[in-house]
Structure 1
Amino acid sequence: MPAGDRFDDPPFDNGDVVVDRDDPSPNEAVVINVPPMAATEWVVSGRGTLASDNPAYPDDDRVVIVVYRETLTREYPNYSGGYPMLVDWLNRDGVPYYAFPSRRLRTVDTMQPTELPLSEIDPSPYHARNFVESKNRAFIEEIRDRGRPDPIPLVRDCDDRFEVLNGHKRIWASHVAGLESIPCHCLYVDDEWAARLWAQWHFDSYGAAERSVARRRLEATFGAKADEIVPRPPAAQAP
């Protein structure tokens, strides 16, 4: 069966708080990634596959990656789900994580977005789009009436400040609506990953002038590596 058919519906969401059914005194852990892999495809270092290490559970059970809540609070205090944490990031930061077959876990709670002061949130340095209040009055009023933007914006933690990864217009409208703080999902990524995520969600929707400004800013930071973050379009061929 194709992987896409097997894994259309993840058994957990990022940010779900879970416990281990096999642990008589389980500690709470937080789901940070649900890769599209079966237990037979995930290798546990020194112990074989996740399936062979968990013979009581189906071989085709979905892999779920967790970080224990105490560790998460210490290392990534503002993470609340909304977007997966990549294993490469955890390895980079030396943060321990654990893989479980999904049926071995039970949900006990769900993390809530982190409330952040708008005064502490900065736009991405590559953001090159302006918003006009007169053209967005209905959008601003919706946020004012709701008391928060929807969907929840995604930011990254920059130690003493936060930087927008996705949701510039929602955050701008929240400012205009007079809100002082909003709920956000928060990631812990380095400068390059932040640029890659920003480009993934924004670059193709930009007009030519906006793309030109954004690319210059990317090149000022990353030099030639900007072409890996946002590939240049193929050169036009003569007829």
Structure 2
Amino acid sequence: MQRTVLLVEDDRDISELVKNHLEQENFTVLTVFNGEKALALLQKNEVDLILLDLMLPKLSGIDFLKQVRTTSLIPVLIISAKGSDIDKALGLGFGADDYISKPFSMLELTARVHAAIRRATQYRSSENVSTSTILHFMELSLDLNTFSAIVKGKTVQLTSKEFHILKLFMTNQSRVFTKEQIYHFIWEDDYYGNENVINVHIRRLRGKIEVDPSNPQYIRTVWGIGYKLGE
């Protein structure tokens, strides 16, 4: 099946380069050069993934992403020359699935695109499972049918990445995971030293399920190694 990618990039040379490469990989690529036109195009077309630059005219990449996330869980891969931790955290915090910093190789970009679409397809397929399965740990429950967490009787909605990270921990309750292992299991891709991606998702997940995120009881840091569930 041919997949459609929406490329939102104001640098026309980069846009043309990425478009030509993805089309050679059998993708249909829709290009647009500012955030406002990207929103209008998205309303008229079904796409499988958005490649999004942060620095856009008229409507910033972050503001565009915030509006997309009010109605859609379509995978979004940020591509940006702004490589600071703040920009990465902002993008992921507002619902981006992953990021790749400029300059990037076309090989890496293609791998990230394929992986993001594959994960989204698997996630949508699993939503059709009718059997409700709930995992438990202390006062935390994870509903595998509704993709939500329940903390002390209160339902907490999770993003797809938060859900799968928590599921990984709750189905391996005695295991310590390195950041590389978490990336491998959740992103199903080669690890490029993307610690910030893991850090942001863990921080946001803790903010949703922990009573005191600064003193977590569920997702514990094992210093010098990674993370584990509970004690």
TM (norm. structure 2) is 0.31
Larger radius of gyration: 1
TM (norm. structure 1) is 0.30
